[in-house]
Amino acid sequence: MNIKSQGEELTETWKEFVQNYEPTDPTVSLNAEDFSVYVVDLDHGMKDKNPIDNVYFYNKRKPNEASVINDYQLSSFLPEKFNEELVRVYYKRTDGDKEEEKKKAEEAEKCFQEFMLLNKHADRKKTIMENKLQE
């Protein structure tokens, strides 16, 4: 039984999207194999559970007794979700001239932004498109 992680699914979907993407600049072509996709889970080691549920608080009236905090005492500034994904797409080709590589990186960024919008990943707080040139 082959179960794919969310990162693997995102990588496959990204590669398909790049292959079907029509660049805004007709002089630029993108190849899915020129990219590496990294998905980093940021979840405090607790997946989607609230980390505050495992924190004990002290009260002035009972300084030697720790207890969990009630929901009504929590700040409204706490997020609804306690996990995020950081998606990084690296462009790894450097065999062309610098100007051409810059155009490809700019086009790849447009492609990535469109991909995130169309695949409903735009609500993620952290989405980063980085251009990493190989040394």
Which two tokens mark 62?
Answer: 């009972």
* Residues of the chain under the 70 pLDDT cut: 1-5, 120-135
pLDDT in tens, 30-52: 988 888 888 888 887 887 788 88
Residues 6+ apart with CB under 8 A from 118: 17
Question: In this predicted structure, what is the pLDDT of residue 121?
Answer: 52
Q: How far apart (Å, rounded) are the C-alpha atoms in residues 123 and 117?
A: 9
Give the separation between CA 95 and CA 40, rounded to whole angstroms.
Answer: 28
Partner residues linked to 98 by β-bridges: none
Distance CA 69, CA 59 (A): 10
C-beta of residue 14 within 8 angstroms of C-beta of residue 35? yes
Please report the pLDDT score of residue 3 as a whole number.
56
pLDDT in the model for residue 124: 43
Output b/e per residue, 103-135; b: 16+ Cβ within 10 A: bbbbbbebbbeebbeeeeeeeeeebebeeeeee
pTM of the model: 0.61
pLDDT of residue 2: 52
- One-letter amino acid for residue 112 of the chain: F
Q: Where are the domains of the chain?
A: 6-43+83-131, 50-78
State the pLDDT at residue 101.
85
